[in-house]
Chains A and B, each alone.
Chain A
């Protein structure tokens, strides 16, 4: 089973690598955004494997952005190293968030993660001398591969594609490994898994830290791509906390394909609607909200589970045996939450 997926993955990647040759700069910009959000969502989802639905990932994104920017502007550190440093700092943030992670369940962890991100954002606003405060920092224009700065979109596209491919690989590796299996089991029923002797705490923390580090990498990329790093944008609750969670849930949290599907679907829709409804304030986000509510209510396991159900029905019609499904277990009801 794994071999065929690997081949599909490579094929898709190859196709995507040729994309810039066929589309123009504007569409390429869209492509960069879509790929970036796929990457961020996949990264978010890694924490979700372990049952942690965080709404505070913007913290890691912003930490990555600011680390890269501050190191570059104040210490002249090369952006590529800055990106690595950003990942480290974001991972540190992930470690911090692990403390609530281990002590709180479900929605309370989610709440704590929001508060966590907000505190960091407010500190970024307050520490003006260090972070440029609300006005933020601007990355100077110095084209060249060494500086991760370009006038065309293509190099940016390849960088973000590479980052996303890495994120997906990590995601796949975790999902299919034994460690990943234990992680997902603890996400779905922590007590039972622990009863089997698995150290779920370590697994969850590692998942969160990896998730944070990857998100930080995208944050660093964004600093170079958008040239501007400011608290309102780079620590934005809406953009980098809620969006990836939304994409992941709509696609199917806790699966490999889910976050990819969710991001690929929702990002262009969001961009399109913003353009289409330019005059009517709020209409595009309202529709966004309706889609979210609709999907969550009708397909709690996300698109992935919806597709699985369709295929199951298709297979049943053909007379093939039923296949038990371990994916999307996260989103199905748990006895203790039901009344």
Chain B
């Protein structure tokens, strides 16, 4: 058995040396990486972590969201920065939940970035903010809507944009203020069908609507979840035809929004009020691809671009900068929302003198106020105890002649809303 003895020794020797090299590498990188977390450097750039999914299935709107924050940073740096210091957004790509957790840890622990912004997707926001919240950092969400984000009892999670709950609120408000009166029926008579894709996006909105509808007195409401990746939504459309609702609230991604609209048209299904909830119904490709078939589709979402300019100062400037930087117009309102949110974060940092620590930021954020109609999205700012901006609300838009016009509330509207059955 001489051969095995030699090989055994050679093996052990090799394993030992591999282990030693591995350990040595770790030591070296650990030493250089671990010492970088210094708090409150008085000079040099203000570094803020920016976690967005710019690859993977969420890339389209993740990239769009990032662009908004990026432009806000550029703009403020052109104006001299904060307290004379440049704002540096340290961008990290977080395509999925595991990536979000890993990157958050890297940025917080490895790079010492105590303040982070992001994230567009609810599950990513939840994951990344858990790391920051547990680790003593601050997480400012500028675009994700899941209710749970502010519901976990953490002190240092903030959100500038409206949550899923407010989407549901506006949906129901619009139904009671406009749709039901137009149809001449009471809230307890209105029949609502909630058609939603079955991932976390659709489900969270559905859940919010469910709670609020009951409180508002809308008793006839049914739910029709479907899979966003289906090549055929016939079952859903046929179900819709059978139910014959007054209102359809839809929560869809890009291709299913188009597919649904097309198959509804094919089957001749018309609903007096079809109200999308952001997502696919907001995208410019929805209007472009469907053309006239998109007309009269309502949509509840973040501020879009055909909106009353008096109520949204800074929006024009944003559009100009976006065109310059990216050579095209925005794909959706997500960039605008992130632009507004990033600006709020920078304003708060003005108050703290550039201090990104959780205590300083928390104090300044709690005290920060802005009136409605004074930001680029038209939203005001007033954070509640859980960190949610209570003055942010989605608006109701309607597709008309290929443009997504704002129709509700009056403060920001460009034209009057119209039921699909009237406008034929």
Direct contact of A and B (CB under 8 A): yes
A-side residues, CB < 8 A to B, are 1, 4-5, 7-8, 11-12, 15, 18-19, 22-27, 29-30, 33, 125-126, 128, 133-136, 138, 140-141, 151, 153, 226-228, 230, 232-233, 236, 239, 271, 274-275, 277-282, 284, 311, 315, 320-321, 323
Q: Say whether A274 contacts B93, CB under 8 Å.
A: yes
**B 199-214 contacts with A by CB, 8 A:** 199-204, 207
Assembly CA distance A232 to B127 (angstroms): 14
Contact (A135, B146) CB under 8 Å given A227-B127, A228-B123: yes
Assembly CA distance A242 to B127 (angstroms): 23
Query: Is B27 located at the chain interface by the 8 A CB criterion?
Result: yes
Chain A residues lying within 8 Å of B16, measured Cβ to Cβ, are 8, 11
Q: Say whether A311 contacts B152, CB under 8 Å.
A: no
Contact (A8, B15) CB under 8 Å given A226-B101, A233-B97, A281-B56: yes
Encoded as 1 (CB less than 8 Å from any A CB) or 0, chain B from 79 to 103 comes to 0000000000001110111110111
B-side residues, CB < 8 A to A, are 2-4, 6-9, 11-12, 15-16, 19, 23, 26-27, 29-30, 33-34, 54-56, 59, 91-93, 95-99, 101-103, 105-106, 109-110, 122-123, 126-127, 130, 134-135, 146, 148, 152, 198-204, 207
Least CB distance from B285 to A in Å reads 18
Chain B residues lying within 8 Å of A33, measured Cβ to Cβ, are 98, 102
Which of A15, A26, A228, A281 sits near B130, CB closer than 8 Å? A228
Chain B residues lying within 8 Å of A12, measured Cβ to Cβ, are 15, 19
Least CB distance from A223 to B in Å reads 12
Contact (A1, B4) CB under 8 Å given A136-B123, A239-B98, A274-B93: yes
What are 17 A-B residue pairs whose CB atoms fall within 8 Å in the complex?
A4-B9, A4-B11, A7-B12, A18-B23, A22-B23, A25-B109, A27-B110, A33-B98, A135-B123, A226-B101, A226-B127, A227-B101, A230-B123, A232-B123, A236-B96, A281-B56, A320-B6
Chain B residues lying within 8 Å of A25, measured Cβ to Cβ, are 34, 105, 109-110
Q: Which of B8, B55, B199 is the most central at the interface, judged by chain A CB atoms within 10 Å of its CB? A: B55
Q: Say whether B15 contacts A228, CB under 8 Å.
A: no
Chain A residues lying within 8 Å of B109, measured Cβ to Cβ, are 24-26, 29
Assembly CA distance A311 to B101 (angstroms): 41
Closest to B107 in A: A26
Q: Say whether B15 contacts A134, CB under 8 Å.
A: no
Assembly CA distance A232 to B3 (angstroms): 50
Assembly CA distance A138 to B133 (angstroms): 14
Assembly CA distance A130 to B203 (angstroms): 14
Q: Say whether B134 contacts A230, CB under 8 Å.
A: no
Assembly CA distance A267 to B97 (angstroms): 16
Chain B residues lying within 8 Å of A128, measured Cβ to Cβ, are 203
Assembly CA distance A85 to B253 (angstroms): 37
Least CB distance from A276 to B in Å reads 10
Chain B residues lying within 8 Å of A275, measured Cβ to Cβ, are 92-93, 103
Which of B93, B135, B198 sits near A125, CB closer than 8 Å? B198
Least CB distance from B89 to A in Å reads 13
Chain A residues lying within 8 Å of B123, measured Cβ to Cβ, are 135-136, 228, 230, 232-233
Closest to B22 in A: A15
Which of A136, A226, A280 sits near B200, CB closer than 8 Å? A136
Pairs A-B, 8 closest by C-beta atoms: A26-B110, A24-B34, A25-B109, A278-B93, A23-B30, A4-B8, A281-B55, A135-B200
Q: Say whether A27 contacts B12, CB under 8 Å.
A: no
Contact (A151, B105) CB under 8 Å given A25-B110, A227-B130: no
Chain B residues lying within 8 Å of A1, measured Cβ to Cβ, are 4, 8
Q: Say whether B110 contacts A274, CB under 8 Å.
A: no
Assembly CA distance A27 to B54 (angstroms): 23
Assembly CA distance A23 to B22 (angstroms): 11
Q: Say whether B7 contacts A274, CB under 8 Å.
A: no
Assembly CA distance A24 to B98 (angstroms): 19
Contact (A281, B30) CB under 8 Å given A226-B127, A230-B123: no
Closest to B106 in A: A26
Closest to A26 in B: B110
Assembly CA distance A126 to B227 (angstroms): 10
Assembly CA distance A29 to B111 (angstroms): 14
Assembly CA distance A6 to B406 (angstroms): 71
Q: Say whether B97 contacts A230, CB under 8 Å.
A: yes
Least CB distance from B19 to A in Å reads 5
Contact (A135, B122) CB under 8 Å given A19-B26, A23-B30, A26-B106: yes
Which of A27, A135, A233, A278 sits near B98, CB closer than 8 Å? A233
Assembly CA distance A281 to B62 (angstroms): 12
Closest to B33 in A: A24
